[in-house]
Structure 1
Amino acid sequence: MTMESIWKRRQQLHLKKFSRYSKYIFNDHFVIVLLFLIGALAFRYSEFVKTLTPDFVWGEVLIVLLFSLSIFIGKLATLVEAADQVFLLAKEKEWGGYFQKAKRYSLVFPAVLLFFIGAAAMPLLFAGRTIQISDFLPIYATLLLLKSIQLDLQVLALKCNDRAVIQKNNGLLWIFGVLLFSISIFFNPWVAPVLVTLYTVLLHKKVQVRFETKYPLYQWENITAAEEQRTARVNRIINLFTDVPQVKNKAKRRKYLDGILRRVEGKGNTFQYLYARAFMRGTDYSGLFVRLLLIGVVLLAATPAKSLSLALSLLFLYLTGFQLMPLYFHYNENMMNRLYPVPNGDKFAGFKKIITYLLGCEAVAFALAITVGVDWMAGLIALAANLAFVWCFIRFYMGSRTAKRENTFS
């Protein structure tokens, strides 16, 4: 088995995993929220750009810093496994080609992201009258070339065990990026990609050979640990949308929430006590709630239209309530749940109080966001509409929905 065949097999498995989970990440609810969020932010951004004058130099400075930092987005996906340092150690010289394929594969996602970052920054540069629309091509080429060099540094770092050297290389690349993007934005955008290309052709190979001479062997423990950390971060993001077997959720103490917990746990309802702790100390439901809350607040604060903001507020409340419904069945697989000497009606009563607290807080937060985005009168109307919606959702929808699914578990 060659290293090329090993890479192709692992790449196929990686793409298969991503395609399997992508349908859960980009579900209907998330796509709708994402479209509204992008639309609202784009509208706010366009209104802000209209207010700019050609002497707005600070915006161009911020773009230079943004571009210089954006080249560090994305880690090298080596797809290395722990057993490689034992069973494939004999192919040490062949790993160079493997990691070059990993570098090209790792460049795909940053290339797409850098395209959108560059496209989003262009209106701010147009306002300064220093950039034309045709200048986007050399700026994007500079972003791609610098990102490619940054991935090369990550490949070289696989042989280096000195963190100070790695940080020094990244620092020099960042300074180089600031210089190139300053030239692109303030002087001529076509100069930067030419300089990067000249560096790649004339100096890059010499730097690589010198580095590999000083650090000849791969640091397999560091490579394996880095890939495990990268995979764990990706799995945690996917786990926000669906269960990932590799991610083991653990209850977190979160002592700073004890004051809130004592107020919502209930005194005479066992299930309310359990549901409160499942929400506060777990990561599935609390992460989902916080994510929708933050996205909704940002979106509503950026939406100036009164009727649209009210509709979005009700939509987010429905999405939050709908996504939190599985919390009702959180303890169904626990046999102790059926041995509790408590009335069965306490289960829905306790769940209803927890959802009332959560949706009530979200309704108030959305009303405050609408007050910021529109005016105080729209905020009051939104508060009344939100609270009415929460009452109707809990009173008419949630009971029938949980009762129907409860029968399937019985």
Structure 2
Amino acid sequence: MFDSHAFYKKRLASHMKELGRYTRYIFNGHIAFALFFFIAAVAYYYQAWLAQLPENFPTAAIIGIAFGLVVSYSPVRTLLQDPDLVFLLPAEEKMKPYFRNSIIYSFVIQLYLILLVAAALGPLYTASYPGREGNAYLLTIVVLLIFKVANLLANWWMYRTRDSNHRRLELLVRTVMNILVFYFLIAGEMLGACIVTILFAALFLYNYFLAARQAGLVWDLLLEKDQNRMQAFYRIANMFSDVPHIKSSVRKRQWLVSLVTKNIPFEKRHTFDYLYRITFVRSGDYVGMYVRLIIIGGLFIYLIPNIWVKLLFVILFLYMSSFQMMTLYQHHRTIMWLDIYPVEKTDRQHSLVKLIFQLTIFQTILFACIFILMQEYTGFLFAIVAGIVFTYVFVNGYVRRKLT
């Protein structure tokens, strides 16, 4: 007899083994040091900023939005695989323990995000409302956990409908309600919180009865959602190690491709110059990751008051960008045609080193321009010099050595 509970335990054990295999590469010595420095600097300046917090600071709105988004993001990790659409679909009635365990597992693995956000915003709450007792914030966290469970169930019931527009509308309405509930709780307006909670309960019951009328789960949707989340993890892990399971996504971006390739000479030794540039633009999340690091790094450089710490963040984000771009070298490892290209291996390595150098120098210039916006011209000169020196040493030293 088919035991879906025992089957889930085997599937979960295999999943945890897969995660552990790549997690140890992600949190290696380089990234651990960068994260430690990053968290320490943020904590120090966060505490200093709280000491000068304005009286009219919109604490309730910020915490309400943060808590509302955290509980609204409630995906259910089913751990389904492609063959399940054939072999498990006929046994859907016996899969209830499996999916119940999936919901419990999803709640447990998302607790870290809830506790992280609650811990980060706790000092802000205390600084903004010094007259309130500490139990008030703890009760808000309890409500946060209750709403997390409710959102997980509501999200699970929405997997029974194929109408993507309906799912998106339901998620939007539920997210707005979540934000309003926590805004009213933090602001101390209990009447507003009660009214929105009643509306949320009505939506919750509507989702339940709507799901009960459906014939069954949309298995292909469950599989698609779960594989998308796993592919997102693989793309992150692929920045640090070779991941054979990753599926590359390709986007056209014709105008950007023409921009980065128009000056490449039509010569054999520039073959990989062209390939790595169009790979950077069109494949995976390379451009997105590069832009995100520029935006996040720029925000920290702009907000942190100490010029020397600003320069340290310049170096930190340059390091993170150049380190993660090294995975371009292995991006086409499964394409055997590259091995028969009449191109020297040294030319291939030189093409990637040159691309990483150019991207990092461009990032250095953008970070340095932030100092000009703040009229810190000495910082601009230091950022340019430090960025160029770091780029030259790191790219021509560490990166080139790793590619040989």
Query: Which category describes the TM-score, using the shorter chain as reference length?
Result: 0.7 to 0.9
How far apart are the structure 2 equivalents of 1:159 and 1:330?
37
CA shift in 2, pair 1:229/1:268, >3 Å: closer
Return the offset for 1:157.
2.3
1:197-229 residue CA offsets vs partner (Å, 9 max, x unmatched): 9x99xx999778744542242333333333333
**Which has the greater radius of gyration?**
1
CA shift in 2, pair 1:5/1:50, >3 Å: same
How far apart are the structure 2 equivalents of 1:285 and 1:210?
39
SS at match of 1:52: coil
Structure-2 residue corresponding to 1:5 = 6
How far apart are the structure 1 equivalents of 2:351 and 2:157?
56
2:72 and 2:178 in contact (8 A); partners too? no
Q: Which amino acid aligns with 1:278?
A: Y
Gaps of 5+ in 1: none
Return the offset for 1:67.
1.7
Matches within 5 A, 1:59-70: 59-70=59-70
Return the offset for 1:99.
1.3
TM-score (norm 1): 0.78
Structure-2 residue corresponding to 1:255 = 254
Q: Select 2:269's aligned residue among 268, 271, 291.
A: 271
SS at match of 1:364: helix
CA shift in 2, pair 1:134/1:88, >3 Å: same
SS at match of 1:245: coil
Structure-1 residue corresponding to 2:150 = 149
Matches within 5 A, 1:149-298: 149-163=150-164, 166-167=167-168, 169-170=170-171, 173-174=174-175, 176-187=177-188, 210-211=209-210, 213-249=212-248, 252-257=251-256, 258-263=258-263, 265=264, 267=265, 270-282=268-280, 283=283, 286-287=286-287, 289-290=290-291, 292-298=293-299
CA shift in 2, pair 1:207/1:94, >3 Å: farther
SS at match of 1:277: helix
Matches within 5 A, 1:126-141: 126-129=126-129, 131-141=132-142
Structure-2 residue corresponding to 1:335 = 339
Q: Which amino acid aligns with 2:113?
A: L
Is 1:31 aligned to 2:32, yes or no?
Answer: yes
SS at match of 2:241: coil
Structure-1 residue corresponding to 2:383 = 382
CA shift in 2, pair 1:91/1:400, >3 Å: closer
Q: Which amino acid aligns with 1:78?
A: T
1:15-50 residue CA offsets vs partner (Å, 9 max, x unmatched): 111111101221222222223333333344334433
How far apart are the structure 1 equivalents of 2:236 and 2:349?
31
Return the offset for 1:108.
1.7
Return the offset for 1:246.
2.2
2:53 and 2:127 in contact (8 A); partners too? yes
CA shift in 2, pair 1:10/1:128, >3 Å: same
How far apart are the structure 2 equivalents of 1:325 and 1:237?
13
Q: Which amino acid aligns with 1:148?
A: V
Return the offset for 1:374.
8.7
- Size of the alignment, in residue pairs? 393
How far apart are the structure 2 equivalents of 1:47 and 1:379?
25
SS at match of 2:142: helix
Structure-2 residue corresponding to 1:114 = 114
How far apart are the structure 1 equivalents of 2:262 and 2:218?
50
SS at match of 1:71: helix
2:326 and 2:399 in contact (8 A); partners too? no
CA shift in 2, pair 1:325/1:8, >3 Å: closer
How high is the sequence identity, in percent, across the aligned residues?
23
1:77 and 1:227 in contact (8 A); partners too? yes
Gaps of 5+ in 2: none
Q: CA RMSD in A?
A: 4.0
How far apart are the structure 2 equivalents of 1:154 and 1:59?
28
2:322 and 2:356 in contact (8 A); partners too? yes
Return the offset for 1:68.
1.8
CA shift in 2, pair 1:347/1:78, >3 Å: closer
How far apart are the structure 2 equivalents of 1:73 and 1:275?
40
Is 1:80 aligned to 2:80, yes or no?
Answer: yes
How far apart are the structure 1 equivalents of 2:159 and 2:66?
27
SS at match of 1:119: helix
1:77 and 1:102 in contact (8 A); partners too? yes
1:139 and 1:184 in contact (8 A); partners too? yes
CA shift in 2, pair 1:358/1:329, >3 Å: same
CA shift in 2, pair 1:354/1:177, >3 Å: closer
Return the offset for 1:304.
2.9
2:60 and 2:184 in contact (8 A); partners too? no
2:240 and 2:327 in contact (8 A); partners too? no
TM-score (norm 2): 0.79
Return the offset for 1:9.
0.7
Q: Which amino acid aligns with 1:114?
A: I
